[in-house]
Structure 1
Amino acid sequence: MPDPILDIRSLSGGYEPTQVFQDVTLQVAAGESIGIFGPNGHGKTTLLKTLSGLIDPWAGDIFFCNERLNKKGERGSRKWRNFNYDAITRRRMDPKNVARAGLVHVQQGNLLFPELTVEETLSISGTAAMGRKGWSLAEVKELFPRLAERWTHKIRFLSGGERQMVSVSAGLMSAPKLLILDEPTLGLSPKIRQELCDAVLSVRETGLPIILIDQDVAFLEQIIDTLYLFDHGRISGRMSREEMPNHDELMVILFGEHH
C-alpha cells in the first residue's frame, strides 16, 4: 500500500494545564477524505488546531507527505506556574511550515481581516502556496458566483455565509495538498448552507483530500470516504461511508438510547 498523505500517531494535546484530547491515531490516504463527528466541546477543533500547528502537540507524531511536522518526543513539563516557558522555548511546531507543506486549515468562524475587500483578501492568499499551483481567482469566482458580486466589498460588510466562502476560497488558493474544514456550514441559512455544501462537493470531485468536521451527517456522507467518531477527546469508532448510520443512529451510538 502507498504511504498515507497524513499519518497521525498517538497524538495528545490541549491548552495548558488541561489535556483536551489523547492518543489519537488516524491516517488519510492519498486521494481519501475523512470526516470527524462528535459532540461539541469534546476536542475536535483542538485536534485540528494541533494538526495545523496553531497550538503545540503535547505528545505523539504528525507526518505529512512523509515529513515530520512536529518535534520528536514529549513536550517538557511546566513546573512553575508563574514562569512563561513559551518565552524562552521554541515552539514544537511551526504553523507557517505546515501551510507551506500544503496542509491548509480553514478554521471555524471565518477569521478574516475585516477592512480588506474580497479581492484583496484572495489576492494575498496564494502566498502560502510556495510555488505550487493553487486555485486561480477565476476558478474561485466560478465556484462561488456570489463572491464575484461582492468582489470590491470589505469583508466586514459580508454575511456570515459569504465570509465563509471567502475563507474556503483563500484555503484553495493556498494550493492545499490536503484541506481541513472545521464546521464550514455552522450557523448558515439553509440556502447559503446548500451553496457551500455544493461547492465543497465540487472541490472534493477534483480529487483533493479533505478533513471535514460538520454536524450534518448527510453532508458528510457526500464528501467523505471514512468517518471517525470523536468522544471525550478520543476516537471512539471508525466506519466507511457505506457503513455510516443516519444522524439519529449516530446520536444513539454516542449518547445511548436516552440522549
Structure 2
Amino acid sequence: MSAPLLELRGLSGGYEPIRIFEGVDLVVEPGASIGFFGPNGHGKTTLMKTVSGVLEPWTGDVIFAGERLNRAAPRRGRRWRNFNYDLVTRRRMDPKRVARAGLIHVPQGNLLFPEMTVEEVLDIAPLAAAGRVPTRAAARALREQAEALFPRIAERRLSKIRFLSGGERQMVSIAAGLMAAPKLLILDEPTLGLSPKLRRELADAVRAIHASGVPLILIDQDVGFLSSLIDRLYLFDHGRISRRLERGDIPDHGALMAMLFGEAA
C-alpha cells in the first residue's frame, strides 16, 4: 500500500481567539479526488487555509508527501495587532514552503491582481513552483494545457483581470494553479456565482485536470458538481468531519442536509 499523499493529524485552527475547527484527521491517497460538503461558516475554508499555510495551525500536523510542513512549536497568540506580526516572529508554517512542495490552493473568491493582465498572472504563476517547472519549455507546456482546458483565457490574455467576468476570473485562477505544477490541487468553491452552463464547463475542465494525474480536494455547495468529480465525500460541520461517504453512496442535496441537520431539514 502506497504512503498517503496528504495526512492531517489532529489538526486544529481558527482566527485568534476563536477556534474554528478541531482535531481533524484526514488521509488523502495518491491519485485521489475527494470533496468536502457542509454548511457555510462551519470551517471548510478555514481548514483549507490552514492546510496551505495561509493560516497558522494551532495544534496537530500537516504531512505532505512524507514531509511535515508545520514546525513543531507551541502556538503563540498575537499580543499586538497594528503591525506585521510576521516580521517579529517565526511562523509555524510557511505558505511558500507549502506551495514549493506542490500543495497548491486556489482559494474562494478569485483573489487575483485586478490591474494585471491574464498573461501577466499566468507568467508569474510558475514562480510558486520554485524549481519544479525547470525550463521555459515546461512552463510553455503547462500554459498550453491550461489554455486547452480554458480557451477563453487565451482569447482574453491581454485583458486586465478587473475587466473579466466572474467565470473568466475563475478560469484564470484555476489556470494559475495548474501553472504551479501541483502535486495536489485544492479548489475552494470553484462554482460560486457561476451559471449552470459555466458550472458544466468547469466540471469538464476539472475532470480533465484529474484525468491528467492531478489529485484534487474540492469544496463546493453544489452536490451534483461534487459527486460527478470525486471518489469520496466528507461531510464537515461544526469544525469536524462528521461522516465519510464513498462515491456510490452520495445522496442528493436534501438527503445530505438531513444527515447534517436531522430529518426536519
Report the TM-score range of the alignment, normalised by the length of the smaller protein: over 0.9
Report the Cα distance in structure 2 between the residues aligned to 1:87 and 1:172, rounded to whole angstroms: 31
Which residue pairs with 1:245 in the alignment? 251
* 8 A contact 1:60–1:74 mirrored in 2: no
Instruction: State the aligned residue count.
Output: 258
Which residue pairs with 2:59 in the alignment? 59
Letter of the 1:148 counterpart: A
Q: Give the 5 Å matches for 1:8-157.
A: 8-76=8-76, 88-133=88-133, 136-157=142-163
Q: Could you say what secondary structure the match of 2:12 adopts?
A: strand
Which residue pairs with 2:226 in the alignment? 220
Letter of the 1:53 counterpart: G
- Residues 50/156 of structure 1: CA separation in 2 closer, same or farther (3 Å cut): same
Q: Could you say what secondary structure the match of 1:151 adopts?
A: coil
* 8 A contact 1:197–1:219 mirrored in 2: yes
Report the CA distance between 1:145 and its aligned residue.
1.0
Q: CA RMSD in A?
A: 1.7
* 8 A contact 2:199–2:225 mirrored in 1: no
Which residue pairs with 1:211 in the alignment? 217
* 8 A contact 1:60–1:73 mirrored in 2: no
Give the alignment's TM-score, normalised by structure 1. 0.95
Identity %: 63
**Runs (5+) with no aligned partner, structure 1:** none
- Cα-to-partner distance string for 1:129-165 (whole Å, 9 max, x where unaligned): 2232465222211100111211111110000110000
Give the alignment's TM-score, normalised by structure 2. 0.93
Report the CA distance between 1:83 and its aligned residue.
9.7
Q: Answer with 58-67 or 223-232: which moved more.
A: 223-232
* 8 A contact 1:59–1:73 mirrored in 2: no
- Cα-to-partner distance string for 1:26-79 (whole Å, 9 max, x where unaligned): 01001111101100000000000000000100000110000000012541456x
Report the CA distance between 1:219 and its aligned residue.
1.3
**Runs (5+) with no aligned partner, structure 2:** 134-138
Q: Could you say what secondary structure the match of 1:27 adopts?
A: strand
